[in-house]
Structure 1
Amino acid sequence: MYAKSALHHYQQVNTHAQVLEANPHRLIQMLMEGGLSRLAQAKGAMSRGQIAEKGILIGKAIDIIGGLRECLDPEKGGQIASNLNELYLYMTRRLIEANRHNDEAKIDEVAKLLRTIKEGWDGIAPVA
């Protein structure tokens, strides 16, 4: 169930053939990579004054973070899943603020948080 949700959200943002062969662990990595990519692109669009593009890219990053939230399993993840859920909600709020106020620092903050989560996730061996 959670792998399908991750796949769905990743495909909404970015379609690659490798998605079809990825295991659930890799799908989460791909979501995080996609989120980081969209944040970098949004920051670039913001610095170039491309307001519409910035909004689209921040929206895609928010969608990816929403997909990560949907993949959380509170029964298996317990307190960690609860904490991640709260962090993802915080990240979403910060991105909305970044979009509204053209604030690159808030995009950087969310990217740093997502990068930290990804580093932890990358350190976990995928379950076969």
Structure 2
Amino acid sequence: MYTPHTHRGAGAYARLGVETQAMSASPHQLICMLFDGAAAAIGMARHHMGAGNIAAKGQAISKAVSIVDNGLKAGLDAKAAGDTGTELVANLSALYDYVIRRLLQANLHDDARALDEAEALLDNVASAWREIGAADR
């Protein structure tokens, strides 16, 4: 039988799985996990927006913003990119700032198109990132 305790237990089990996966992941895989987490949070925000659940929508968007800002953007390293990658790092940083603004607008105005745009922009970068990883194998 399904109970609230079962749900919490399943959530804890899922978090443990993600934590275990993160501990054994390469830096490239960690970035992929951040993209996946942002996409999942945006999907949940879209669901909650459609259901009219304002609090849950706000929490999901906050999670997506946190992943983009404290994960993807914070992980940019201009020094590691070298002279040739400095412009790329600056462009990605600006893109992540724009994505964050669109997510915040989506939250303020219940704007599903802003969610779609943020998701599409992140998906484009994630696809390129995954191709780099496939080429390295």
Q: Shorter-normalised TM-score: what interval?
A: 0.7 to 0.9
What's the secondary structure of 1:30's corresponding residue? helix
36-45 or 72-81: bigger deviation: 72-81
Question: Is 1:39 the counterpart of 2:37 in the alignment?
Answer: no
Partner residue, 1:63: 66
Q: How far does residue 78 in structure 1 lie from its aligned partner after superposition? A: 1.0
Cα offset, 1:125, TM superposition: 2.8
Gaps of 5+ in 2: 1-14
Deviation at 1:57, TM superposition (A): 0.2
Q: Distance in 2 between matches of 1:43 and 1:23?
A: 30
- What secondary structure sits across from 1:72 in the alignment? coil
The CA distance in 1 between the partners of 2:78 and 2:48, in whole Å, is 36
Percent of aligned positions with the same letter in both sequences? 37
Aligned to 1:96: 104
Deviations 1:45-84 (A, max 9, x none): 0000000000000000000001100000112131111100
In the alignment, which residue of structure 2 is the partner of 1:81? 89
Distance 2:105 2:119 in 1: 14
Distance 1:29 1:81 in 2: 17
Cα distance in 1 for partners of 2:103, 2:50 equals: 16
Distance in 2 (CA, whole Å) between partners of 1:68 and 1:18 is: 18
Corresponding residue to 2:25 among 22, 40, 48: 22
Query: TM-score normalised to the size of structure 2?
Result: 0.80
Structure 1 residue runs of 4 or more that deviate by more than 6 Å after TM superposition: none
